[in-house]
Structure 1
């Protein structure tokens, strides 16, 4: 393909867009809004997953040990548990520490004095990232730990993890469906815009076809128009999402401070941002190709 012809087509597309700045701006804004909505929702889900991944103190498993477990056996078990999927930390709670915590939290000093001995076992408290694996895999992991010879019983309250994962899966599926519908909308918006440009240049296209211009020659400037507008819309959508993240960080900081923690919102990484621009450019090109193809089918038929 002659590079000169491509450059001429690119300049033609650029000049056409610049001659109609308001129409070009409105098209780019419409595409950017269509793209920013699903991308913003994906970013929100990603931040939610990051936030929930920090709730390690809410996803704990207690492994209660037999009284005759030796220190060496406990150390080996602790190492094996620490290598488990999604395990963030493993804390050993001795019988004495468990008793002290019990007395402080429950105010049961008198009852303990009556017993005359420490009835509480030593334990391993396992902190788990609730999103590191599926709830079924997590249950299987807990059951395998409970079968260890020195483990008397295992206690966990991780039903909320299964519910949380189901909610996130539902949200992700819904956002994907929305993204596909809005991508179709972006193609239709671009196709309609290009059809308007074709209608304005119908006489020029008819004359070019009569003097022997090929379909590729006629089609190329319109494809570049869609490509350029798609690129601009993708960049603008990236900027919109970044601005939204920055504007929400202040309220998030204030909310996190009420819970005694801190959480920084995460926007699109550079690779994700450039992928957004590339997808937007492709959608613009695709909408243009469909619109021009239908017109050329009629012209050359």
Structure 2
């Protein structure tokens, strides 16, 4: 083992030993870090669950086609069949005028008023769902012009408002999570930095002796950096456990609520990828907080002449 690697191993073991000898203070520091990391982790996983659950619909845009009222049902069905053969079309649903009237009567509550009208005033219609890779604005405009050119068509309407609202809400939530993560990340830096500061001053005499015999600031700083690293990694592991526990407790109620709306939405537990990201963030914040505190306070400690 090279001397450089041996020194780092010694520093890491030294830092771990000091943390083990102060279990209560170590546990409290790790708990504070974990709580700060749990909230953005759980929120991010929640947003990821929503995006995964609505992935096939997030970019979906429906096109509503309304025929003129005098178009025969056979002709409307024929046009629907021809549209299904067009590339980029995922689904075409034909809605006959009688079926549309029945749905409107059941859902609107205006059944008595509809009975006053003479005949069925609703036209035949189509609900067209383009494929996801053909739902960009250029393809949608091309499809709209193609259908609108049919002489039997009265109106072509692109129903994309709900998609825009969904994406806007998810984007807003993502920005809120990023903002909360940044603020809580600063909090983690402060917690680690203050803990390292207290440890530095509790070992002031030892540090002065080390510097007196020729120890550099980098040498003295190394164990504190590993202390911050261990704090960050331990806090991240506990945060992952807390987030997983919270999501498991919420999963069943959320699933029941989603089922009442006809959805199969489920909360996703953190996987290996999410765990790796969380450990990396925790380690980075721990090392950075320790480095900032050590760089500031070690420079103020010099051996007495």
State if a TM-score over 0.5 links the two structures.
Answer: yes
2:129 corresponds in structure 1 to 126
SS at match of 1:154: strand
2:33 corresponds in structure 1 to 31
Q: State the Cα distance separating 1:54 from its structure 2 match.
A: 6.6
Aligned 8 A contact 2:76 2:124 in 1:
no
Q: How does 1:38-57 map onto structure 2 within 5 Å? A: 38-53=40-55
Q: Pick which of 156-165 and 172-181 moved more.
A: 156-165
1:172 corresponds in structure 2 to 174
Cα gap change, 1:128/1:30 in structure 2, threshold over 3 Å: closer, same or farther?
Answer: farther
Q: Pick which of 47-56 and 63-72 moved more.
A: 63-72
Aligned 8 A contact 1:195 1:291 in 2:
yes
Pair 1:161 & 2:163 matched:
yes
Q: Distance in 1 between matches of 2:46 and 2:80?
A: 44
SS at match of 1:293: helix
| Equivalent of 1:80 in 76, 87, 110 | 87
Cα gap change, 1:189/1:103 in structure 2, threshold over 3 Å: closer, same or farther?
Answer: closer
Q: Pick which of 271-280 and 157-166 moved more.
A: 157-166
SS at match of 1:299: coil
| Equivalent of 2:270 in 268, 274, 290 | 268
Count of residue correspondences: 283
Q: Distance in 1 between matches of 2:76 and 2:123?
A: 14
Q: Pick which of 27-36 and 148-157 moved more.
A: 148-157
Q: How does 1:93-242 map onto structure 2 within 5 Å? A: 93=94, 98-105=96-103, 106=105, 120-121=123-124, 123-126=126-129, 141-148=139-146, 149-150=149-150, 152=153, 153-242=155-244
Unaligned runs of 5+ residues in structure 1 are 83-88
Q: State the Cα distance separating 1:91 from its structure 2 match.
A: 2.0
State TM-score, norm by structure 1: 0.80
Structure 1 residue runs of 4 or more that deviate by more than 6 Å after TM superposition? 107-112
Cα gap change, 1:102/1:170 in structure 2, threshold over 3 Å: closer, same or farther?
Answer: closer
Cα gap change, 1:73/1:54 in structure 2, threshold over 3 Å: closer, same or farther?
Answer: closer
Cα gap change, 1:109/1:55 in structure 2, threshold over 3 Å: closer, same or farther?
Answer: farther
Q: Distance in 1 between matches of 2:52 and 2:194?
A: 40
Unaligned runs of 5+ residues in structure 2 are 106-110
Q: State the Cα distance separating 1:139 from its structure 2 match.
A: 5.7
Cα RMSD for the two superposed structures:
3.3
Cα gap change, 1:158/1:247 in structure 2, threshold over 3 Å: closer, same or farther?
Answer: same
1:85 corresponds in structure 2 to none
